[in-house]
Amino acid sequence: MSTHVKRAFKCRFYPTDVQAAELSRTFGCVRKVYNLALQARTEAWQHRQERVNYNATSAMLTGWKKSEELAYLSEVSSVPLQQTLRHLQGAFTNFWAKRAGYPTFKSRKKSRRSAEYTSSAFRFRDGRLTLAKMSEPLEIVWSRPLPEGSTPTTVTVSQDSAGRWFVSLLCDDRPAPMPATDAAVGIDVGITSLLALSRPIPGLTDEQGKISNPKHEQKDRARLAKAQRNLSRKAKGEGRNRAKARLKVGRAHARIADRRTDFLHKVTTALVRENQTIVIEDLAVRNMLKNRTLARAIADASWSELRSMLDYKAAWYGRDLVVIDRWFPSSKLCSACGTLRGKMPLNVREWTCDCGTTHDRDVNAARNILAAGLAVAACGDGVRPQRSTPGGRSSVKQEVVPPPRSHAASQPQG
């Protein structure tokens, strides 16, 4: 049975000069309203210990439009302005629930340029999308069709640092489940090898079961550094030369990000297609990024995005994603006899157990991860096998993450 999900379809489009000007005004107004509302909510809390909600900021927006100084807010569609107030409300909800830090002000140069339109602010007919305040539809390059019979519920227009325009259409979809299979795989992430699998997969891994790390940022580091040096030499301000230099930096970053995302999509789709059960570790990537020696390499590997893709693709296509606790000693445990070794520095890539078995550190870890995940899947969610570790930890937590009934489009985590 297919799973009902909200799925975003992102395409590139090419606006006319009039449309680009209208969207740029909208982006500016969205940023202004967000900052005004954030300032009002911050002052209300600091001075009166009062929590201002969405309804109050919506009423403030009406007053701002009537003022002489902010009358230009009435020149753009009101829907993106209301949506940014809803986004701010969500940011405060996450803050009060201690899921995120305090919301920050949006910068004209550094913040994402985007505007969100609900169904009342756009018209979608016969594959042609027309936004509010515009007389002509957007010239969209459709990279893939929308689900048959589906109509967008929300449209988000954005412009990236490379100057490219994108439109993301959120639609209801029912992805067809992939054919069932008995195959299962354990995954150990790394830097030298992006992934080590518990078994080789023809066409995806090498003979050992490893997928090499393409290191997109490292390969383009010289190009990016040159663009950044060129930008640093330009006089600060709004000059054309500085704008051109900033655009080159944005294009260098976009090239790295696009190639990385494309590679991760291909790898995760292949893993989900070939396996019914996928077992991974619950890594604290945010904490690992505090390691100044490895932070750049870890960020380039993008383990969080890999985990996110596996998460929602498994949900879409009827696969099981099992997540084991980060303290499980996968590298130090012999997958042949179960002997737990003592300390094992990162520079030890191969080791021989007392039973005579020689292990590749990463492949052995992947096999242990798979075994632990299958044990949890067999016993049921919530099983916590007792394992002692050199650090004195016990009762290693392991959990099964089954496909949810509904899942929104992919969002970066952690």
Helices 240-274 & 221-233 angle (0-180, nearest 10): 160
Q: What is the DSSP letter of 1?
A: -
What is the average pLDDT across 237-250? 90
Give the angle subtended at the CA of 386 by the CAs of 382 and 388, to the nearest 5°.
140
Q: Domain ranges for the chain, please list them.
A: 5-173, 184-401
- Read off the pLDDT of residues 23-79 as tens digits, 9 standing for 90 and up: 999 999 999 999 999 999 999 989 888 889 999 999 999 999 999 999 999 999 999
Q: What does the alpha-carbon distance between residue 21 and residue 188 come to, in Å, rounded to a whole number?
A: 48
- Mean pLDDT estimate for the chain: 87
Phi and psi at 192, nearest 5°, equal: -60, -50
pLDDT of residue 408: 40
d(CA 362, CA 187): 9
Confidence of residue 414 (pLDDT cuts 50, 70, 90): very low
Sheet hosting strand 320-324, strand order edge to edge: 210-212, 193-197, 184-189, 277-281, 320-324, 398-401
Residue 159 and residue 26 in contact, taking contact as beta carbons nearer than 8 Å = no
Out of 22, 116, 320, 362, the active site residue is: 362
CB neighbours of residue 28 within 10 Å: 16
User: Of these residues, 116, 274, 281, 305, which one is catalytic?
Assistant: 281
pTM over 0.85: no
* Tens of pLDDT, residues 352-400: 888 888 888 899 999 999 998 888 777 765 433 334 333 333 333 444 4
According to DSSP, the residues that pair with 195 across neighbouring strands are: 189, 211
DSSP code for 163:
S
The pLDDT value recorded for residue 381 is: 52
Do β-strands 350-352 and 320-324 pair in parallel, antiparallel, or remain unpaired? unpaired
Please report the pLDDT score of residue 221 as a whole number.
92
Q: Which of 160, 188, 217, 274 is catalytic?
A: 188
Helix segments in 275-317, DSSP class H: 285-288, 295-301, 303-316
Tokens of 29: 């107004």
Task: Report pLDDT for 115.
Answer: 97
Q: Which long-range CB contacts under 8 A does 152-155 form with residues at least 24 apart? A: 152/119, 152/122, 152/124, 153/6, 153/118, 153/119, 154/116, 154/117, 154/118, 154/119, 155/116, 155/117, 155/122, 155/124, 155/129, 155/131
Q: pLDDT (tens digit, 9 = 90+) per residue, 131-177?
A: 999 999 999 999 888 988 889 999 999 999 999 999 999 999 888 88
How many other C-beta atoms can be found within 10 angstroms of the C-beta atom of residue 380? 8
pLDDT confidence bin for 2, thresholds 50/70/90: low
Is 362 among the catalytic positions?
A: yes
pLDDT tens by residue, 304-348: 999 999 999 998 998 999 998 888 888 888 888 888 888 888 888
Residue 413 has pLDDT above 80, yes or no: no
pLDDT more than 90, % of the chain: 62
pLDDT-derived band at 1, boundaries 50, 70, 90: low
5-20: string of b/e by CB count within 10 Å (b at 16+)?
Answer: bebbbebebebeeebe
Q: What does the pLDDT read at residue 351?
A: 82
- Taking the C-alpha atoms of residue 81 and residue 137, their distance in angstroms, rounded to an integer, is 21
The alpha-carbon radius of gyration of the chain (Å, integer) is: 25
